[in-house]
């Protein structure tokens, strides 16, 4: 899988990118199909398909890079008033590239992006049931 992965090809230098940040285990670059100007991607250099596959120690480094890039984006880019961090897992959730990655999308109050959802409704008993199901599977 890693041989054909577009992000792994970027890490190996086979595909050019506009690098924002790099260390021994993390790479961040600008998205070539941005949702907004300055839209960045942060990835672990090693191939992991989803967030659940990423070891905790590597996740820590990736999240530190996400925070660093988001903070710089807020002060460096004109008009930025906020940002979204988007991370999807598996095709059903909208993951297009099967390499765990985080999007940092700069936002302005009046931009045209719609990353919101319609809020649902839950009853207290239903919330309690789902909480018990999830807590029972935590490691």
Give the catalytic positions in this structure.
101
- Return the SS3 of 59: helix
**In DSSP terms, which residues pair with 105 in a beta bridge?**
84
Q: Which residues contact 137 (CB under 8 A, 6 or more apart)?
A: none
Structure tokens at 78: 């004109």
**Where do we find the tokens 């993390």?**
26
**30 within 8 A of 73, measured Cβ to Cβ:** no
Kind plus residue range of the DSSP H or E element containing 133:
helix 124-135
């Amino acid at each position: 899988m890693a041989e054909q992965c577009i992000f792994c090809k970027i890490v190996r230098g086979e595909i050019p990118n506009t690098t924002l940040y790099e260390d021994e285990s993390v790479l961040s670059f600008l998205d070539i199909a941005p949702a907004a100007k300055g839209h960045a991607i942060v990835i672990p250099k090693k191939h992991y398909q989803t967030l659940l596959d990423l070891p905790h120690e590597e996740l820590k480094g990736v999240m530190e890079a996400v925070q660093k890039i988001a903070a710089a984006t807020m002060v460096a880019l004109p008009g930025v008033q906020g940002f979204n961090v988007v991370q999807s897992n598996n095709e059903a959730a909208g993951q297009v590239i099967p390499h765990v990655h985080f999007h940092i999308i700069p936002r302005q109050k009046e931009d045209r992006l719609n990353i919101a959802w319609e809020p649902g409704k839950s009853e207290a008993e239903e919330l309690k049931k789902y909480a018990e199901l999830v807590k029972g599977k935590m490691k």
